[in-house]
Structure 1
């Protein structure tokens, strides 16, 4: 007999295996955008996703991929919701996700900037200076070439030591 716990585990495993469309070396679980999976009494699965930033163009693809994966796992009724509060932070990327990014030559983000739970967003008028080590040689002597790379959540950098360009997931 299949229990509610069995169904939930099967749904969770299926959702956790979905790859991010922009960073396919990561799953949505690795990236921390998979916020929750529930199975209702009627067998319908509801999955909650939080975008890396408001307006993320990959969200439509993420929702479709999650729904497709869950239907392939035998769930006929699937709902994918978007959760905006609390907002996603790079701190939600798992240690395994950070390892996978570095292994693919993408510098993982550092700790996310401190946020206040309530009140105004602090405004920084000068550029934030941060050392981003090269994922290829480990040198801290790197420079930002472009604030935006292949996706809005990554910047393009270059190592001054090995001269290799690399992407960096921005600290959000």
Structure 2
């Protein structure tokens, strides 16, 4: 039988299938005690519609690997940050034509404030590398991504927001 962490770490994100949940930073903890596997995951933002699918995919993968008791828990503290995306995850996003996030805004401990301010001023195009880009829509296929366009190569691309 495989190691439970290895199995859980290989499950991909349903909205960004080029990334595993581990690379995305939502896979927080995997423990196995007396044959029972407990997995803790954190949503990228409140109300993330992919959480049910993540839970189902994790449970299916672990049961398929031979584990008979699986519990998937949602952990909200600390809140997920785009800084938790691994270096490999960032490379995979860029290779898929999605601009990875820059550093997340720094804030004091406590609730994560919702800001509706302007987007990042510089997002490099994942196609040609140009910084001459513009935001087309604050929301894209998911609420955690925005739609941008490169003024140099004229290609549209998504950008994972800094959270």
Query: How many residue pairs end up in the alignment?
Result: 163
Structure 1 144/126 Cα, relative in aligned 2: closer, same or farther at 3 Å? same
Separation of aligned partners in 2, 1:133 and 1:111: 13
Report deviation, 1:107.
0.1
Aligned to 1:4: none
Report deviation, 1:62.
0.0
- SS in structure 2 opposite 1:102? helix
- SS in structure 1 opposite 2:22? helix
Report deviation, 1:108.
0.2
Separation of aligned partners in 2, 1:115 and 1:153: 19
Runs of 4+ in 1 over 3 A off after TM superposition: 120-126
Report deviation, 1:125.
6.9
Which one of 124, 128, 132 corresponds to residue 133 of structure 1?
124
Q: Which runs of 5+ in 1 are unaligned?
A: 1-6
Report deviation, 1:121.
5.7
Residues 23-62 of structure 1: matches in 2 within 5 Å? 23-40=16-33, 42-62=34-54
Report deviation, 1:124.
5.8
Report deviation, 1:127.
2.0
Deviations 1:6-62 (A, max 9, x none): x7x70000000000000000000000000000111x210000000000100000000
* 1:78 corresponds to 2:70: yes
Residues 1-172 of structure 1: matches in 2 within 5 Å? 10-40=3-33, 42-118=34-110, 126-172=117-163
State the TM-score, normalized to the length of structure 2. Answer: 0.95
State the TM-score, normalized to the length of structure 1. Answer: 0.90
- SS in structure 2 opposite 1:148? coil
Larger radius of gyration: 1
